[in-house]
């Protein structure tokens, strides 16, 4: 083989400095809180925080709150505790069953002490994917402190920013470490005297709505440790939740005994509770009379004392019931009086043999007004199913908007809003198609999921397989919709088609880029639906792989091999083969546009080939071998493609008469084969742990020897194949092996090269 100057290259392969190398010097001085570095750090913190979890979130508007002159005794007790500068009680647990007003009290106190004693607040919700887990909790608390309109921002904000700069990957560490580094340690840097004038209240509402019970216990353990430590942090915590066993068990810990206070929201004070509900109903009936033309002829006492008392009795102490009643009556579809009369006919518990409570019967009544129940059912199943992230943490897509639900369920445009138009009393339905639809109260989610309560309206969560099938179908449909625009298939000239393709990918929405992760969802499907089978049959591997390169800079490890393995397992278990996947080409061509750095194209080709036929990624032995053989150092990930990422993937036979090569001159084309990847992987695996294995292989290639075969380390056919395609790559990428340094012209330009 003709590797000129190979000995010199081998000796100096690891000491090369490329002309596009950038040396960055970072400032060592600590920035002020308001400088540009701090602002960038704060922006990265904001991206990790849950914006909807704060007390003043627009998404939660209008938030639940205490009706005037209600819950005064309980609010007074908690206010007295909050106003005390050094209370012996460091944590207050406010608990009660669904719908009794826990969130209203938390909201009331957060609003009352905003700008005063409130440091931060986090409102969990199982109906909101951005705040239904512990993942964004620490970031949210830290961000609210940094953006506080109190002196807390000035004294703690800069310390939190410094901690983030010291460890940019802190959100990949356990929650305990996040809390310690971003909250506890900055707090403890301040003198105790300073805290007398600083906000110190953390409000946590709906802890039971954190979907992982273990996470609920972890958060309480974190709080317990920081307030009972030898040097406790000066923060106090108000925790509101249902009395779930795991939460009660966590609060029963012996270390909580001396520092825990608790209040119970219960239905023991029947008279006072009913007065609150009655007052709420009367006030809102007056509002409805002013709002609805159909009610203006009703008397001032409408709907009358008997009707109000009946509703109070049906509510049975559940504030959620009266709130839902008002929302249900407040409609433009029917006469408000008719809807009220429908509710008044509901039989309460103890009045019949009905297995449902009045609230459940109300939910049944609301759902019974929907037409096209099958489509409503499909939509509700999506709403009660948490989005499956498939292990991805880069999503910017809102998966429960009218627009996205339309795509997931393949409905007509505008159909979702029409289907749900009679459910505004139990759903928060936005005015636009790009905002998230949310379930108004957790009790409705529980009702839908419980077959004993919902009966014919039972709406279970989708299984992981069902949901991944639904998402995978959408992602594949999205990619297939772009395939006709792929330059090799486009009817216009190649130059025009390429320009249109690049513009289309550049301007595409987040869904197109995210669709490149279709395989993450496919491989979690146990039994593909007919819709998924159809979309898999439409899949064009060449255009799809090109899009994956464009949006990800690099194809994710082993995705094709994983999908093919999944396809075979599906065929074995169901008897249905997925032809498009099983016939995936064993070889194809990859074309790099002018302007692509040769070393980037070189490494990308080898890595793609290893993914196709090797172990999944280049190991250190393979990397060292290639660097020594070609004197081309591996660039960092993501690979810097330069001005264009319009890499094209073409069939291996794209030069045949019936499939002419449509590429313009100046493109660099390499052939990628599964066999190359398998041979390279097999040889390197055999020599990886051999003493001087790397040297033996390099000598065999550079000197056209066969010592590795003579020593029975590898097969002769494998060595012959390796020599052949390594020499082919030498010509394709025009790698210079002379002693001279690369000139700007030779290094940065792509020479014309024949397709091989």
In a domain, 573, yes or no: no
- The DSSP-derived string for 44-56 is HHHHHS-GGGSTT
Q: Percentage of the chain surpassing pLDDT 90?
A: 37
Q: Which of 225, 244, 265 corresponds to the end of one domain? A: 265
Verify that 664 and 531 share a domain, yes or no.
no
Verify that 469 and 445 share a domain, yes or no.
no
Verify that 86 and 231 share a domain, yes or no.
yes
Question: What's the pLDDT score for residue 324?
Answer: 87
Question: What's the pLDDT score for residue 15?
Answer: 34
Each residue of 505-524: pLDDT tens digit? 888 888 998 898 898 899 99
Verify that 716 and 595 share a domain, yes or no.
yes
Verify that 234 and 130 share a domain, yes or no.
yes
Verify that 237 and 385 share a domain, yes or no.
no
Q: Which of 411, 434, 458 corresponds to the end of one domain? A: 458
In a domain, 574, yes or no: no
In a domain, 44, yes or no: no
Task: Decide if pLDDT at 22 tops 60.
Answer: no
Is-contact 20 599, C-beta < 8 A? no
Helices (H), 421-540: 442-449, 451-454, 464-482, 494-507, 510-514, 518-522, 530-538
Number of domains in the chain: 5
In a domain, 245, yes or no: yes
Verify that 395 and 432 share a domain, yes or no.
yes
pLDDT, average across residues 677-683: 92
Verify that 490 and 436 share a domain, yes or no.
no
Is-contact 167 106, C-beta < 8 A? no
The DSSP symbol for 668 reads E
Three-class SS of residue 260? Answer: strand
In a domain, 366, yes or no: no
Each residue of 654-665: pLDDT tens digit? 654 444 445 667
CA atoms within 13 A on the CB side of 261: 16
Per-residue pLDDT band at 284 (split at 50, 70, 90)? confident
pTM of structure? 0.68
φ, ψ of residue 93 to 5 degrees: the values are -110, 115
Question: What's the pLDDT score for residue 6?
Answer: 38
Domain that residue 630 falls in: 1-19+585-756
In a domain, 569, yes or no: no
Per-residue pLDDT band at 353 (split at 50, 70, 90)? very low
Verify that 124 and 253 share a domain, yes or no.
yes
Helices and strands per DSSP (H, E), number in the chain: 36, 10
Using omega within 30 degrees of 0 as the cis cutoff, is the peptide bond preceding 400 cis? no
Verify that 79 and 154 share a domain, yes or no.
yes
Each residue of 311-343: pLDDT tens digit? 888 887 778 888 888 888 887 777 888 888 888
**How far apart are the C-alpha atoms of 305 and 64, rounded to whole Å?**
26
pLDDT, average across residues 638-643: 54
Verify that 555 and 696 share a domain, yes or no.
no
Instruction: Please report, to the nearest 10 degrees, the dihedral formed by the alpha carbons of residues 504, 505, 510, 516 taken in order.
Output: 130
pLDDT, average across residues 575-581: 64
CATH of the domain at 80: 3.40.50.300
- Output 719 or 66, whichever has higher pLDDT: 719
- The DSSP-derived string for 675-690 is HHHHHHHHHHHHHTTS
In a domain, 54, yes or no: yes
Question: Exposed, middle or buried, 419 (CB in 10 Å: 0-12/13-18/19+)?
Answer: buried
Question: What's the pLDDT score for residue 354?
Answer: 45
**How far apart are the C-alpha atoms of 495 and 501, rounded to whole Å?**
10
**How far apart are the C-alpha atoms of 308 and 275, rounded to whole Å?**
11
Verify that 490 and 554 share a domain, yes or no.
yes
Question: What's the pLDDT score for residue 576?
Answer: 63
Q: Which of 413, 442, 458 corresponds to the end of one domain? A: 458
In a domain, 41, yes or no: no
């Amino acid at each position: 083989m003709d590797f000129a100057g190979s000995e010199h290259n081998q000796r100096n392969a690891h000491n090369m400095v490329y002309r596009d190398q950038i040396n960055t010097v970072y400032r060592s001085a600590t920035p002020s809180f308001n400088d540009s570095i701090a602002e960038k750090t704060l922006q990265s913190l904001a991206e990790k925080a849950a914006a909807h979890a704060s007390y003043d979130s627009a998404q939660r508007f209008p938030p639940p709150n205490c009706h005037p002159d209600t819950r005064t005794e309980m609010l007074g007790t908690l206010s007295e505790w909050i106003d005390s500068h050094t209370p012996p009680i460091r944590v207050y647990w406010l608990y009660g069953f669904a719908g009794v007003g826990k969130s209203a009290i938390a909201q009331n106190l957060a609003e009352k002490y905003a700008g005063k004693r409130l440091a931060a607040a986090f409102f969990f919700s199982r109906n909101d994917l951005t705040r239904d887990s512990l993942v964004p909790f620490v970031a949210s608390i830290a961000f609210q402190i940094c953006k506080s309109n109190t002196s807390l921002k000035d004294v703690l904000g800069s310390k939190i920013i410094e901690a983030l700069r010291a460890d940019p990957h802190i959100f990949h560490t356990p929650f305990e470490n996040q809390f310690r580094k971003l909250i506890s340690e900055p707090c403890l840097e301040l003198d105790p005297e300073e805290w007398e004038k600083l906000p110190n209240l953390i409000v946590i509402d709906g802890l039971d709505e954190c979907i992982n019970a273990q996470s609920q216990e972890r958060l309480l353990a974190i709080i317990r440790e920081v307030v009972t430590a030898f040097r406790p942090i000066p923060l106090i915590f108000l925790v509101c939740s249902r009395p779930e066993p795991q939460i009660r068990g966590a609060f029963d810990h012996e270390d909580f005994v001396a520092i825990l206070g608790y209040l119970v929201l219960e239905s023991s004070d029947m008279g006072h509770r009913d007065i609150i509900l009655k007052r709420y109903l009367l006030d809102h009936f007056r509002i409805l009379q002013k709002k609805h033309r159909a009610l203006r002829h009703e008397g001032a006492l409408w709907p009358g004392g008997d009707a109000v008392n009946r509703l109070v009795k049906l509510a049975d102490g559940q504030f959620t019931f009266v709130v839902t009643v008002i929302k249900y009556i407040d409609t433009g579809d029917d006469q408000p009086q008719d809807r009220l009369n429908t509710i008044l006919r509901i039989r309460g518990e103890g009045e019949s043999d009905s297995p449902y409570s009045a609230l459940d019967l109300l939910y049944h009544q609301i759902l019974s007004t929907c037409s096209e129940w099958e489509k409503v059912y499909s939509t509700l199943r999506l709403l009660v199913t948490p989005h499956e992230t498939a292990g991805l943490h880069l999503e910017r897509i809102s998966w429960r908007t009218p627009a996205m639900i339309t795509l997931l369920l393949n409905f007509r445009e505008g159909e979702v809003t029409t289907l749900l138009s009679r459910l505004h009393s139990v759903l928060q339905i936005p005015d636009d198609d790009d905002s998230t639809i949310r379930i108004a109260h957790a009790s409705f989610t529980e009702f839908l999921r419980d077959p004993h309560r919902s009966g014919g309206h039972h709406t279970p969560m989708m299984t992981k397989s069902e949901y991944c099938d639904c998402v995978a179908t959408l992602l594949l449909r999205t990619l297939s919709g772009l395939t006709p625009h792929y330059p090799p298939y486009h009817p216009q000239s190649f130059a025009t088609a390429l320009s249109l393709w690049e513009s289309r990918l550049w301007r595409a929405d987040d869904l197109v880029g995210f669709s490149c992760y279709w395989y993450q969802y496919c491989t979690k499907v146990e039994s593909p639906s007919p819709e998924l089978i159809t979309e898999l049959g439409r899949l064009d591997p060449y255009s799809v792989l090109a899009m994956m390169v464009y949006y990800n800079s690099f194809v994710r490890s082993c995705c094709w091999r994983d999908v093919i393995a999944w396809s075979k397992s599906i065929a074995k278990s169901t008897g249905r083969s997925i032809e498009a996947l099983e016939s995936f080409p064993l070889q194809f061509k990859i074309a790099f546009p002018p302007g692509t750095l040769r070393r980037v194209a070189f490494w990308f080709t080898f890595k793609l080939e290893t993914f196709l036929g090797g172990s999944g990624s280049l190991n250190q032995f393979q990397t060292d071998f290639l660097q020594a053989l070609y004197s081309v150092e591996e660039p960092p990930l993501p690979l810097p493609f330069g001005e264009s990422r319009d890499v094209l993937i073409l069939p291996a036979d794209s030069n045949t008469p019936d499939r002419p090569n449509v590429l313009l001159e100046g493109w660099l084309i390499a052939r990628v084969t599964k066999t190359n990847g398998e041979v390279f992987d097999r040889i390197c695996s055999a020599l990886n742990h051999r003493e001087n294995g790397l040297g033996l292989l390099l000598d065999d290639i550079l000197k056209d020897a066969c010592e590795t075969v003579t020593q029975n380390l590898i097969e002769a056919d494998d060595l012959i194949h390796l020599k052949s395609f390594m020499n082919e790559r030498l010509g394709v990428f025009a790698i210079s092996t002379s002693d001279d340094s690369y000139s700007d012209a030779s290094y940065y330009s792509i020479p014309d090269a024949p397709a091989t």
